[in-house]
Amino acid sequence: MADVTLRKVVKRYDEVEAVRGIDLDIADHEFVVLVGPSGCGKSTTLRMIAGLEDITGGDIMIGGDVINDVPPKDRDIAMVFQNYALYPHMTVAENMSFGLRLKRYPKAEIKSRVDEAARMLDIVELVDRKPKQLSGGQRQRVAMGRAIVRNPKVFLFDEPLSNLDAKLRVQMRIEIKKVHQKVRTTTVYVTHDQVEAMTLADRVVVMNHGRIEQVGTPNELYHRPATKFVAGFIGSPAMNFIPCRLEDVGGRLHVRLTDRISFPLPAARAARYKGVTRADKLLLGLRPEHIAEAKSHQEPGIESFDVVLDVTEPMGMETFVYFTLEGTQICGRVNPNAGARDGAPLRLAVDLNNMHLLNEVTGVVL
Amino acid sequence: MSTIAIDKSAPNRKMKYGSMSRDRTWALRWSYFFLTLFAMFSLLPPLYMLVTSLKGSAEISAATNPWWVFSPTLSNYIEILTSNQFLRFFWNSAMVSIFVVTITMLISVPAAFALARMRFWGSATLATGVFLTYLIPETLLFLPLFKMFATFGEFTGIQLINKWYVLLIVYPTLTVPFCTWIMIGYFASIPKELDEAAIIDGATWIQTLTRIFIPVAFPGIIAATIFAFTVSWAQFLYPLVFTTSIDQLVLPVGIITTLIKGDVFAWGQIMTGALLGAAPPLIIYAFLMDYYIAGLTAGATKG
């Protein structure tokens, strides 16, 4: 069993509290991604699990044992670093086997483990080269190989793809996923890239200001964010937040965006929001794909309105359109054939079945 | 048939290229001018030594052209190289230097590793302190050091003064601070993740030092070694103070003490001895120059 448990973990540097009491349960074989902006405490958390940082408060358990004071080498973990951290004077094979040689494994076993890892990562022909002779992607594979041969309880990845170019990053992302499917080792992966988090994770942990904002599967976070931070962080382009308030018009609950624009809420949404104080300052959260060109026949819950576009960004498969409502810039996503042009008027439709309503002051999704 | 339009915009670019090239030419001319100046400045004294070492004492005292040898002779070389005294000085110098280099590296490499990597209370202050020690001139230190050894001799009966091995204690006060400082700089340029990876791989601090840091920092270690060797080979004041018996002298002091008799200077032999004495560092530099430069410029560029 190699489940990882964090209980009220705190990390304080002098005056600064980098991690402010986080609780997290990572199941055996699970791939968990810690994601958040820089300085949110995700790397610190990972380094505390690795034993590279002392824990100021709380407990970290691996396989049920508290490992707060266990030195890194006895935690049975392996770590992959952003800058690969390969030993420059050793060959690929020596790099991969360093840990095993220190532990005095028999030569034959070291060789078979290195061979197997090299085969898995497709670096068999590189084993006699020095790191300097490898490309970034190859170095990252070697760093992963070094982790794999140790056959540890937990893999820790610290922004492993950040030094790679965009194309290679996508390729290595798939590679990491494949490796995890093969070895099934519990993995904690830190990144600031929400796309990486979404594509790799069984569960994503969104962190901000040293706290966990939300834990959930990628789909949960995308469709049911708990806070404004998560709603805005997950998804690209980001969710639109439009200042609004609720009002009752003729017995139906409406959401009013501007003096001119007000939409009746679909029945399910109206039921959910009927207890919300009407005077509260609210935000209407809408993802770009839920603001599209208006069609002649509208489904229930889809409401159309006219705007004048500021800018359009044709992406080929779709076109992002930007317009302004009362000073708030809003992004929509329309069909490339919808006739969107810079500065031109367009009739758009919002899908209120997928709307989110947030309290502007607390940032909580209602 | 179609005609091909020829791009006529080239002259514009050529002009710019020309002016760039003119700048570069001038920069190069100035560089060579100053390089020649400095080369002459540093090479003329050894050339003068070489010329003088090939002259007999009669020609040296005669007022002939000092830059030319009219009757070349190897007598100075023969005399020096067959003199047991000179060979003794040479041997003493070699012993002192080899031991000092060894002692220095054994102290400063682990010290630098500890100061650069093992964060402990006061490590930063201590690192600065190490460097400050290097700034204290030996002319200030030789009297207190002499007094210390004299007192030590009185209390223990172990006489260190006037023994060549007293230099093994004294020289490291010069070499250890500087070598530690060089190595701190070199170790600091090694990415932090490298020792973290080693620690996670299960290496102890000692293993991290011996199996990762020393091999990676090898150019730096060579640079520090050369420095320590040069300092102990060329040191003059300390051996002059601490050793007096002929058989305990090192080369620089030995040459001066034995070849200047009263006001009679055996210039030919002095020059020959100095030239032969300069040979070992020269040979070492020549072989290890690339490492030396890499070591001193570490951290300036990545990798």
* Mean pLDDT computed over B273-292: 84
Measured between beta carbons, the chain A residues lying within 8 angstroms of B303 are: 132
Measured between beta carbons, the chain A residues lying within 8 angstroms of B193 are: 81-83, 85
pLDDT(B302) > 70: no
- SS3 letters for B35-75? HHHHHHHHHHHHHHHHHHHCCCHHHHHCCCCCCCCCCCCCH
Asked whether the beta carbons of residue B202 and residue A99 sit closer than 8 angstroms, the reply is: yes
> Domain B75-296 falls in which CATH fold?
MetI-like fold (1.10.3720)
Instruction: State how far the Cα of B31 lies from the Cα of B19, in Å rounded to an integer.
Output: 18
Q: Which domain holds residue A208?
A: 4-226
Asked whether the beta carbons of residue A72 and residue B200 sit closer than 8 angstroms, the reply is: yes
Of A78, A82, A132, which has the smallest distance from its Cβ to B200's Cβ?
A78
Asked whether the beta carbons of residue B203 and residue A103 sit closer than 8 angstroms, the reply is: no
What does the pLDDT read at residue A227? Answer: 93
By mean pLDDT, which of A184-188, A219-223, A330-334, B220-224 is the weakest? B220-224
Q: What percentage of residues in chain A have a pLDDT greater than 70?
A: 100
Per-residue model confidence as pLDDT tens digits over A264-319: 999 888 888 888 888 788 999 999 999 999 888 878 888 888 999 999 999 999 99
What does the pLDDT read at residue B36? Answer: 95
Domain identity same for A244 and A192: no
Let me know if residue A109 belongs to a domain. Answer: yes
Backbone angles phi, psi at B70, to 5 degrees: -90, -40
The letter for the amino acid at A14 is D
Task: Look at residues A226, A260, A293 and tell me which one is the last residue of a structural domain.
Answer: A226
Domain identity same for A220 and A87: yes
Rg (C-alpha) for chain A, rounded Å, is 25
pLDDT(B13) > 80: no
Domain identity same for A259 and A348: yes
A-facing residues of B in 196-255 (CB < 8 A) are 196-203, 207, 211-212, 215-216, 218
Let me know if residue A364 belongs to a domain. Answer: no
State the total domains in chain A: 2
Task: Look at residues A226, A251, A274 and tell me which one is the last residue of a structural domain.
Answer: A226
Domain identity same for A282 and A353: yes
* B191 to chain A, closest Cα gap in Å: 8
What does the pLDDT read at residue B303? Answer: 38
Per-residue model confidence as pLDDT tens digits over A116-160: 999 988 999 999 999 888 888 899 999 999 999 998 999 999 999
Per-residue model confidence as pLDDT tens digits over B194-232: 989 999 999 999 999 999 999 888 888 888 998 899 999
pLDDT band at B158 (very low <50, low <70, confident <90, very high): confident
| CATH number, residue A305 | 2.40.50.140
Asked whether the beta carbons of residue B197 and residue A83 sit closer than 8 angstroms, the reply is: no
* Mean pLDDT computed over A213-225: 93
What does the pLDDT read at residue B160? Answer: 87
Let me know if residue A231 belongs to a domain. Answer: no
What does the pLDDT read at residue B4? Answer: 52
Q: Which of A47, A75, A87, A140 is the best residue to mutate to test the B interface, defined by the most B CB atoms within 10 Å of its own CB?
A: A87
Tokens coding A158: 């610290």
Let me know if residue A54 belongs to a domain. Answer: yes
Instruction: State how far the Cα of A58 lies from the Cα of A50, in Å rounded to an integer.
Output: 15
Instruction: State how far the Cα of A195 lies from the Cα of A318, in Å rounded to an integer.
Output: 19
B-facing residues of A in 68-87 (CB < 8 A) are 71-73, 77-79, 81-83, 85-87
pLDDT(B18) > 80: no
Let me know if residue A365 belongs to a domain. Answer: no
Size of interface A-B (CB pairs under 8 A): 56
Let me know if residue A366 belongs to a domain. Answer: no
Domain identity same for A178 and A315: no
What does the pLDDT read at residue A240? Answer: 93
* B216 to chain A, closest Cα gap in Å: 6
Instruction: State how far the Cα of A265 lies from the Cα of A111, in Å rounded to an integer.
Output: 65
Rg (C-alpha) for chain B, rounded Å, is 27
Query: Looking at the complex, does the CB of residue A102 fall below 8 Å from at least one CB of chain B?
Result: yes
Domain identity same for A160 and A308: no
Let me know if residue A161 belongs to a domain. Answer: yes
pLDDT(A340) > 90: no
Per-residue model confidence as pLDDT tens digits over A19-41: 999 999 999 999 999 999 988 98
Asked whether the beta carbons of residue B202 and residue A87 sit closer than 8 angstroms, the reply is: no
Rounded to an integer, what is the distance from CA B44 to the centroid of its chain? 20
Let me know if residue A110 belongs to a domain. Answer: yes
Query: Looking at the complex, does the CB of residue B81 fall below 8 Å from at least one CB of chain A?
Result: no
Domain identity same for A76 and A205: yes
Measured between beta carbons, the chain A residues lying within 8 angstroms of B211 are: 98
Domain identity same for A80 and A130: yes
What does the pLDDT read at residue B299? Answer: 43
Task: Look at residues A192, A226, A260 and tell me which one is the last residue of a structural domain.
Answer: A226
Q: Which residue of B has its CA nearest to A131?
A: B303
Residue that is written with structure tokens 């070598």 in the block: B179
Domain identity same for A107 and A21: yes
What does the pLDDT read at residue B108? Answer: 94
* B49 to chain A, closest Cα gap in Å: 44
Instruction: State how far the Cα of A120 lies from the Cα of A115, in Å rounded to an integer.
Output: 9
Chain mean pLDDT for chain A: 91
What does the pLDDT read at residue A323? Answer: 93
Per-residue model confidence as pLDDT tens digits over B27-52: 899 999 999 999 999 999 989 999 99
More confident residue, A294 or B1: A294
Helix (H) or strand (E) holding A66: strand A65-66
Measured between beta carbons, the chain B residues lying within 8 angstroms of A87 are: 194, 197-198, 212, 216
* B205 to chain A, closest Cα gap in Å: 12
Domain identity same for A174 and A258: no
Domain identity same for A8 and A77: yes
Q: What percentage of residues in chain A have a pLDDT greater than 90?
A: 62
| CATH number, residue A70 | 3.40.50.300
Domain identity same for A93 and A164: yes
Chain mean pLDDT for chain B: 85
What does the pLDDT read at residue B14? Answer: 47
**Domain residue extents for chain B:** 22-53, 75-296
pLDDT band at B295 (very low <50, low <70, confident <90, very high): low
What does the pLDDT read at residue B294? Answer: 65
